[in-house]
Amino acid sequence: MIDKEEIAEIRGKHHGKSTEKRRYITGLDGLRALAVIGVIFYHLMPGKMRGGYLGVPVFFVISGYLITDLLRQEWQSNGRIDLKSFYVRRIKRLYPALVTLLLGSTAYITLFQRNLLDNLRAIFLSSLTYVNNWWQISNGMSYFDRFNNESPFTHLWSLAVEGQNYLIWPILFILLMKFVPKKQNIAKFLFIGTLVSAILMAILYQPGSDPTRVYYGTDTRLFSIWLGSLLAFLWPSTQLSEKIPIQAKRVLNLAGGISLSTLILAFFFLDARYSFVYYGGLYLISLAALVLVATIAHPGANWNRWLTNPIFSYLGQRSYSIYLYQFPVMIFYEAKVKNIAENVWLHTVIELILIFGLSELSYRFIEKNKIKWRFDTLKQFFITLKEPMSTGKKIQYSLVTVVVLIGLFGIVTAPANLITQEQREFQEAVEKNTNAAKDTLINPKEPEEKVNEKPVNNESPTEEMQQIMTRYQLTKEQVIRGKQLEITAFGDSVMLGATLNLQEVFPHIIVDAVVGRQLYDSVEDLQKLKDKGLLKDTVLLGLGSNGTATQGQFEQLMAVLGNRKVYLVNVFVPTQRWQNDVNRLLADMAAKYENVTLIDWYDSSQGQVTWFREDSVHPNEIGLDAYTSLIAQEILKE
């Protein structure tokens, strides 16, 4: 991010003609404000702002444009680029707030949330060296998994992408300016580079799988930044005239309006799990951001003025700190509050207050150089401690020292790849159930002759039957019907965890359940089951734990299911904001379709803390018995 102070600093160092024309484009603060609002609400209210993650490519385009525009001005002014000054400015601009966040968050984790200490040293170092995106990729972290590996530093992947560009691009810029004299050819090079990056994203993306690799990769996200750099060659801010024909102004204003409308619509509706996003969607969004940046930067258009107001300026100037603190606040706060879903708006307001409060402190005392950042800051800090100062100042410095020491202690002592007993048991359970589910798909069991299993009234249940009756609170007749029933179970990780339990009651069950499965992208998988003849007349659906969906998306599922008898299990995810929205949707769909029966897992789970693992979502052994019992009693009732 480029701010007023950095532009002023650059202007003070270079006095060429082009340098004097530098201006701070206030409308870009407005665009930053919209981008950071999108990102925050994507995390706070994913059901309402499903495409808020698109604020990141908007930031990328702005960054690429401003950095390259300043490099071009410096080159025109001096015929060279002072690389040392460039890197020092970037460090002075970005590191103080980042280091403060990392040390402060680490101190909090060390004292109050020690379960997040795992791999903290590697996360800290990869964030400082701007390779956090590749570290997360190499360690199998997922940006989209709401229940595993969630970290207060997950969002730093985007800073790593920008940081890597800051390191490489100035050197590449110098080479291009020296050996490619025509700016048109440089623009062509950048354009081809953006296409290569976008095509690489499309090639590496695998539909139906977690898209984190292409979402995080510098190679697959560079196109947004380079589109901004491309704009700087075609649309240099110092060469744009304020006086343009009225028709040209109308065209610019219309283009800006269309691009802004496109971005706002995408923020609300373009979910990150849609395949379209990775097959050119992100590129198109970046192009829309490019057009909007161009119209804001042009002094002859009105968009710079329209996006300049006190609120947008306030948010835009603090967007870096807001972006830094939004995820740690959410992770720390929501770990302590287990009923987010029941009071979404209250908790959202509280989290926003915390985010903006910490961001304001960071902006005022860190970013605005109230604390002078120098390479010998630590040395100067301890010298200051020895000097005479007021009691208040002494307390302030002492508190900072304590936080830093606690943070460093946490970093030094943090374990690497630690797996708790609870996590190990959960992983083993997932593996067993996954293998069992795959076996039902590969080797489905055909039911035996029903007549041979018809009970005799005075016949005593077998020992195995008695165990099932006791464990799941079923009658002898229900157990026998369960053994005869052909059923297909389709769901997410909650249903996957119950595979072995469901097989006890329904030996002929076919289970297709996947960790992280979303309702809205399940139609294709359900159709595959149908095409293979594995979609039985009785279907058990367990979807919605991982996010929201719409009525239209559910209706697409029903179009595949047809007139089959469908049992719909609602969700219990009290730590996630979408719980009540999903359950309302499922209740409405059960009321709409005569062949759909709702199984109320949510209501049965109320107050049953001992049923769940530490994430409060996935049932433990006790909870799995209750989950299976609820399902079996509903399906097998008279």
User: If pLDDT is split at 50, 70 and 90, which confidence band does 377 have?
Assistant: low
pLDDT of 456 reads 47
Number of C-beta neighbours around residue 23 at 10 A: 11
Task: Write the pLDDT tens digit of every residue in 217-241.
Answer: 999 999 999 999 999 999 999 999 9
Task: Write the pLDDT tens digit of every residue in 302-328.
Answer: 999 999 999 999 999 999 999 999 999
Mean pLDDT of 23-31: 92
604 compared with 638, residue with greater pLDDT: 604
Residue partners of 311: CB distance under 8 A and separation at least 6: 33
| 8 Å CB contact between 397 and 381 | yes
| 8 Å CB contact between 51 and 271 | yes
| 8 Å CB contact between 255 and 88 | no
209 compared with 478, residue with greater pLDDT: 478
Q: Does residue 436 sit in helix, strand or coil?
A: helix
pLDDT of 18 reads 43
**Which amino acid, 350?**
I
pLDDT of 509 reads 95
Q: Does residue 545 sit in helix, strand or coil?
A: coil
Whether the pLDDT of residue 12 is over 90: the answer is no
Task: Write the pLDDT tens digit of every residue in 419-457.
Answer: 777 777 888 888 898 898 888 888 887 765 544 445 445
Report angle CA 424, 429, 432 to the nearest 5 degrees.
125
Q: Active-site positions?
A: 493, 615, 618
Quote the CA–CA distance of 74 and 423 in Å, as a whole number.
Answer: 54
| 8 Å CB contact between 113 and 335 | yes
Closest CA to 623 of 509, 503, 498: 498
Quote the CA–CA distance of 252 and 259 in Å, as a whole number.
Answer: 11
Helix (H) or strand (E) holding 531: helix 523-531
Output the CA–CA distances (angstroms, integers) from residue 293 to 227, 286, 310, 478, in the order listed.
11, 10, 19, 66
Q: Which of 250-264, 373-387, 480-494 has the lowest mean pLDDT?
A: 373-387
pLDDT of 389 reads 61
Quote the CA–CA distance of 197 and 171 in Å, as a whole number.
Answer: 19
Closest CA to 120 of 99, 106, 107, 108: 106
Greatest C-alpha distance within the chain: 103
Whether the pLDDT of residue 511 is over 50: the answer is yes
Whether the pLDDT of residue 613 is over 80: the answer is yes
Whether the pLDDT of residue 207 is over 80: the answer is yes
Q: Using the structure block, give the residue that is written with the tokens 């769909």.
A: 589
310 compared with 150, residue with greater pLDDT: 310
pLDDT of 451 reads 42
**Which string of DSSP letters, residue by residue, matches 153-210?**
TGGGHHHHHHHHHHHHHHHHHHHHHHH---HHHHHHHHHHHHHHHHHHHHHH--TTS-
Task: Write the pLDDT tens digit of every residue in 525-568.
Answer: 999 999 999 999 999 999 999 888 889 989 999 999 999 999 99
